Structure 1
Amino acid sequence: MPSATKKVTVTRRSTGRYLATNARGGQIRFGTGADEEFSPVELLLAAIGGCSSVDVDQVTSRRTDPEQFDVTVTGQRIIDADGASRLDPVGLDFAVHFPDTEEGREAAGLVERLVKLSRDKTCTVSRTIESATPVVFKADGEPLD
């Protein structure tokens, strides 16, 4: 399968406030978490939940629209002995409910399998994190030591 390079540009708006722009022109404002704007960690949690939400929603909504579709994503921030911080563990909790109709029962019957499929195969975001994908930092195009 051909690879597709994804790209987002982050631009400083002011101290601690940024604008992420994708190749299609979509934009998200974010910051340090000192105000109502999302922090980078919250964006990461949203990306994990959003990725799996799309996986589940794309299939189930072909049957019927859900009455409730909420995914709560949590991450415990820990600080390692060397002072480095990370999230461990990250958890997703799906609350997806459908009308009590034939289509709704059919859609509801798919949720657990689709969540597992997302976890194991189709969610690029969570699978990237779990695979410990290297992140290469550069300054003015030059890799850092």
Structure 2
Amino acid sequence: MSENSREVREVSVVRTASRTYKATSAETGSSIEFGQAEGLLTPVELLLAAIAGCSSIDVDVATTRRSEPEKFEVTASGDKLTEDGASRMEDIRLGFDLKFPDTEEGRKAAGMVERIVKLSHDKYCTVSRTVELGAKVTSEIAKS
């Protein structure tokens, strides 16, 4: 028997300056600035960060029940492909570089990483699963 649920997630994006935007969560009010201005992450970099961040949280929550990491770095990369003037990302890769203390708890945490990374990819990470499975994107223009 499968369990299905649906929850709406929403962010609003406001232009704050030329090529600079602020995304704000409707749920928490948290925000992040992004764009194509100097010192800001681009939308594609935000996508990569979201994928890496989603799996990072899954791995972090599970492993830190055993031990705090000495090193926890996750990189996300992918290939930008342009075909007939249209761009997209493909072959997105995550690299986990984790180190735990050489203690019984640290070794237990380290021993969990491979399984948790796989579970994150296969089941828990909403972001990477959405990218891989595809989601319909529609746009509506407000009549002001």
The TM tier, using the shorter chain, reads: over 0.9
1:24-63 Cα shifts (integer Å, max 9, x gaps): 110100111x411110000000000000000110010011
CA distance in 2, matches of 1:138, 1:29: 23
Question: RMSD value over aligned CA atoms?
Answer: 1.1
TM-score by length of 2: 0.93
Q: Is residue 18 from structure 1 mapped to residue 30 from structure 2 by the alignment?
A: no
1:104-141 Cα shifts (integer Å, max 9, x gaps): 00000000000011111110000000011111111117
Task: Tell me which residue corresponds to 1:73.
Answer: 76
| Structure 1, gaps ≥5 residues long | none
Task: Tell me which residue corresponds to 1:8.
Answer: 11
Return the offset for 1:2: 2.8
1:39-96 Cα shifts (integer Å, max 9, x gaps): 000000000000000011001001110000100100111101x211011111000011
| Structure 2, gaps ≥5 residues long | none
TM-score by length of 1: 0.93
User: What is the 5 A alignment of 1:32-51?
Assistant: 32=36, 34-51=37-54
Aligned-partner residue type, residue 131 of structure 1:
L
**Runs of 4+ in structure 1 over 6 Å off:** none
1:106 to 98, 105, 108: 108
Aligned-partner residue type, residue 27 of structure 1:
S
Paired residue secondary structure (2:117)? helix
Task: Tell me which residue corresponds to 2:125.
Answer: 123
Taking only the aligned residue pairs, the percentage that are identical comes to 52
Aligned-partner residue type, residue 8 of structure 1:
V
Aligned-partner residue type, residue 78 of structure 2:
G
